[in-house]
Amino acid sequence: MAKEIKVPQISEGVDTAVISEILVSKGDKIEEDQSVISVETDKATAEIPATAGGTIKEIKVSEGDEVSVGDVIIILEDNGDDSEEKEEDKSKDKEEETSENKKEEAKKEEEEQGSKAKEKDESKSGEKEKEQKEDDDEKKDGDAEKKKSKGSEAKKDKDTDEDSSKEVYASPGVRRVARELGVNIKEISGSGESGRITEKDVKGYKEGGSKKSSSGQAKLPDFSKWGAVENKPLNSIKKTTAKNVLASWQSIPHVFQFGEADISGVETYIEDHNEKVEKAGGKLTLTAILTKIVATALHKFPTFNASIDMDKEEMILKKYVNINIAVATEDGLLVPVIKNADQKSIKDLSVEISEIAEKAREQKLSKEDMEGGNFSISNLGGIGGTNFTPIVYHPQVAILGISRATTKPVYIDGKFEPRSILPLSLSYDHRLIDGADGAGFMNWLVKALEDPYEALLG
């Protein structure tokens, strides 16, 4: 019996991936758990294992294809297929033979009855035979008409599908979905690699019609009418980021809280202890210190370390503290996770953040490096800007943005002193966190930065 190998859930919050390599060929005999394809998402490469063993009958994807969770990628046939097919054929032959015998018996019985009826009343029998003949002719004509109609419909479907396959770039599964939804696939603009039409494109077209794409975006004009343009496909990081932030923005009612912290003391602390951290293989940064402070804050404000389930109308409070650190790379933004940040020292955090940031820039992050985060930190201080409003990373409920510190005069003990002031931006999900909690969280962070010992002792 044929078996299907499907795309599993690749990582948390990621439902699509691009096939980077096919590791097997048609006709190969494979075992369960053997890697069959390699996929790429967020520049983290993962291999998809076979969920069953057998001989590969068909490979339904190609390198470069975009696939979604649940898509069939390989069809297997095991060793029992031939014998099962033979048994089915034997059973079918036997059924046909039984059906023929029944028809012969019915025919003989009909002839006998007709003969007896003829002996009783020749005239009446002749009349009945005439009526029977007319009925039979009418029935034959009706059957012929039905067969002709069915043949025309089948030919029409075949021609339509053949025409589509010549003009449309879409997988058989996507074509099937389009037929089931009654959508003309030739009218859809594909959002996949090289204009490939995806299942989301089909469903988006069904819901929004031709005026909108699957993303809900209004149809774009032809920009080339006004000058030269270049169409450049998004890489996997950009595509994933675009989908994730759109989903987060559409599903999460954001509130933004701002604050300023005097980090003059923190900067002195970094200067005094950076050499020790460098010897351990890391770099002491404001991000590392803030990661430790935020980890402590999440214990004091547990709703910031939670997720919300609207279907069950409940919050999910997490007893572990995993923090995402946003890393800018040449290909786009990546957000790897520091696990159990509350259990690590500032020195340990500094080393781990340095290592995982390097892995991100070298495109060596694994699926595990990207999963399980509860809260995110995005530091744009090294680039510049006075403030920004980061988007919450679903299914989290809050993210902290850090901008560049500037020197400002601060009135202390009757006189102005130059102090290093750090702008902070807190974005949070208003379904779970209200304004009072948001302000309380921000105020605690500011106090902890101005007196780091408060974060450790409080």
Beta strands 323-325; 375-379: pairing state:
parallel
pLDDT score recorded for residue 387: 93
Residues facing 212 on adjacent strands: 218
| 118 or 44: which leads in pLDDT | 44
CA 281 distance to own-chain centroid: 36
The string of DSSP letters for 115-139 reads: HHHHHH-HHHHHHHHHHHHHHHHHH
Length of the chain (residues): 458
**Residue 176 host element (H or E):** helix 172-181
The string of DSSP letters for 169-233 reads: -B-HHHHHHHHHHT--GGGPPP-SGGG-B-HHHHHHHHHHGGGB-TTSPBPPP-GGGSS------
At 114 the three-state DSSP class reads: helix
pLDDT score recorded for residue 92: 52
CA angle 383-449-325, nearest 5°? 45
**Residue 158 host element (H or E):** helix 122-167
Question: Would you kindly state where each structural domain of the chain is located, as residue ranges?
Answer: 2-77, 172-233, 241-457
CATH class of 2-77: mainly beta
| 117 or 323: which leads in pLDDT | 323
Taking 50 as the threshold, does the pLDDT of residue 81 lie above it? no
Question: Do the domains spanning 2-77 and 241-457 agree at the CATH topology level?
Answer: no
At 213 the three-state DSSP class reads: coil
pLDDT score recorded for residue 132: 57
pLDDT score recorded for residue 253: 96
Taking 60 as the threshold, does the pLDDT of residue 260 lie above it? yes
Q: Do the Cβ atoms of 295 and 283 come closer than 8 Å?
A: no
Catalytic entry in 254, 273, 299, 430? 430
Taking 50 as the threshold, does the pLDDT of residue 152 lie above it? no
Q: pTM value?
A: 0.59
Nearest residue to 70 (alpha-carbon basis) of 169, 200, 205: 200
Best mean pLDDT range from 229-233, 248-252, 383-387, 423-427: 423-427
Q: Do the Cβ atoms of 320 and 340 come closer than 8 Å?
A: yes
Distance spanning both ends of the chain, measured CA to CA: 64
| pLDDT average, residue stretch 402-418 | 95
Mean pLDDT of the chain: 81
Q: Report cis status (omega within 30 of 0) of the bond before 452.
A: no
Burial grade of 104 (CB within 10 A; 0-12, 13-18, 19 or more): exposed
Rounded Cα distance between 252 and 255, Å, is 9
Rounded Cα distance between 154 and 452, Å, is 75
User: Which pLDDT tens digit goes with each residue over 213-255?
Assistant: 555 566 788 899 999 999 999 888 888 888 889 889 989 999 9
- Residue 234 CB coordination number (10 Å): 13
User: Which pLDDT tens digit goes with each residue over 82-126?
Assistant: 444 445 544 555 555 555 555 566 665 666 555 555 555 554 445
Rounded Cα distance between 20 and 64, Å, is 6
CA distances from 10 to 67, 141, 351, 430 (A): 11, 57, 28, 29
User: Which pLDDT tens digit goes with each residue over 332-348?
Assistant: 899 999 999 999 999 99
Catalytic, 299? Answer no
Rounded Cα distance between 241 and 246, Å, is 8
- The dihedral through the CA atoms of 185, 190, 194, 198 has a sign that is negative
Taking 90 as the threshold, does the pLDDT of residue 63 lie above it? no
pLDDT score recorded for residue 210: 43
Rounded Cα distance between 373 and 351, Å, is 19
User: Which pLDDT tens digit goes with each residue over 209-218?
Assistant: 544 455 556 6
Q: Do the Cβ atoms of 395 and 217 come closer than 8 Å?
A: no
Rounded Cα distance between 185 and 170, Å, is 9
At 149 the three-state DSSP class reads: helix
CA distances from 166 to 54, 59, 65 (A): 33, 20, 18
pLDDT score recorded for residue 336: 96
List the structure tokens of 10: 């690749």
Count of alpha carbons within 13 angstroms of residue 327, beta-carbon side: 29
Nearest residue to 174 (alpha-carbon basis) of 162, 163, 188: 188
CATH class of 241-457: alpha beta
Taking 90 as the threshold, does the pLDDT of residue 135 lie above it? no
Q: Do the Cβ atoms of 359 and 365 come closer than 8 Å?
A: yes
Q: Do the Cβ atoms of 437 and 301 come closer than 8 Å?
A: yes
CA angle 152-153-154, nearest 5°? 90
